[in-house]
Amino acid sequence: MALEMISLKSPREIEAMRRAGRLTAQARALAGSMVRPGVTTHEIDRAVRRFIESHGAKPSFLGYGGYPASACISVNEVVIHGIPGPRKLKEGDIVSVDVGAFIGGFHGDCAATYLCGEVSPEAKHLVEVTQQSFWEGIRYARGGGRVSDIGHAVQEYVESFGYSVVRDFVGHGVGTRMHEPPEVRNFGPAGHGPRLQPGMTIAVEPMVCAGDWHVQVLPDKWTTVSQDGSLTAHYENTILITEDGPEILTVTEDGTYV
């Protein structure tokens, strides 16, 4: 992706993105607090929409490419883009919630996977590794590095536990559009792709399968599942590149990232 296509945000624009990021993180935290047995995915989606709209913002996902909901809620083998509906969560599920909010001309984008009641040790470990792989990746998210340095670190960490990273879907730039250049892969060799520069804002989002990395999009054209039926997890934050390292923009006022 040509570097000139990548938007470097001004101080004013960064402040606007901090605002959008805080609101998005609060919506994610609200959704996570609702994950418990007996709650439907539609109930979570409805709460997310009401919360975002009550703050004068718009859910970024609602209507995006025809998507019919305000949050993507993906359970167990569903990697991403699960459409909320009447499904009731049950004990032992792991539930990925991906949300975005648009306010002041800018988007925030973040996701996390939550435990529904008591889950298996294997499921809990997958969620923990997925979240930690994000932190391993953004150690390299500083001015002067390369975009692929982030994904290389994510892949090395994930695969050290015998898990795999999804190849078909990747992270991306975030700004006035929800998806902007550059593409931020969670795999591949280091030292490639655009050079990271202060003012870049990107979504880093490891998507991890307990089994093989191949995925399949279901006939609804959104719901994406692991091809082998293995459990999956997802974790994402929008970050700002600075000379000194990343600043996470999708964080609540009390410092919550999940």
Question: 180-217: per-residue pLDDT in tens?
Answer: 999 999 999 999 999 999 999 999 999 999 999 999 99
In degrees rounded to 5, what are phi and psi of residue 156? -60, -45
Reduced to 3 states, what is the DSSP secondary structure of residue 130?
helix
- Reported confidence tier of residue 84, pLDDT bands at 50, 70, 90: very high
Reduced to 3 states, what is the DSSP secondary structure of residue 61?
coil
Average pLDDT, the chain: 96
Torsion of CA 135, 139, 143, 149, to 10 degrees: -90
Question: How far, in Å, are 71, 96, 132 from residue 100 at the CA level?
Answer: 8, 14, 21
State residue 107's pLDDT score.
98
Q: Name which of 51-55, 59-63, 140-144, 236-240 the model is least confident about.
A: 140-144
* Ordered DSSP codes for 147-158: HHHHHHHHHHHH
State residue 143's pLDDT score.
92
In sequence order, what are the beta bridge partners of 75? Answer: 95
Question: 27-46: per-residue pLDDT in tens?
Answer: 999 999 999 999 999 999 99
What is the rounded average pLDDT of the residues 55-68? Answer: 98
Architecture per CATH, domain 7-248, reads as: Alpha-Beta Complex (3.90)
Domain boundaries, the chain: 7-248
Spatial distance between the Cα atoms of 24 and 103, rounded to a whole number of angstroms = 10
CA 110-239-106 angle, 5° bins: 70
Indicate whether 247 pLDDT > 90. Answer: yes
Indicate whether 171 pLDDT > 80. Answer: yes
Spatial distance between the Cα atoms of 116 and 120, rounded to a whole number of angstroms = 10
CA 51-56-59 angle, 5° bins: 60
Torsion sign across C-alpha atoms 121, 258, 177, 64? positive
State residue 82's pLDDT score.
98
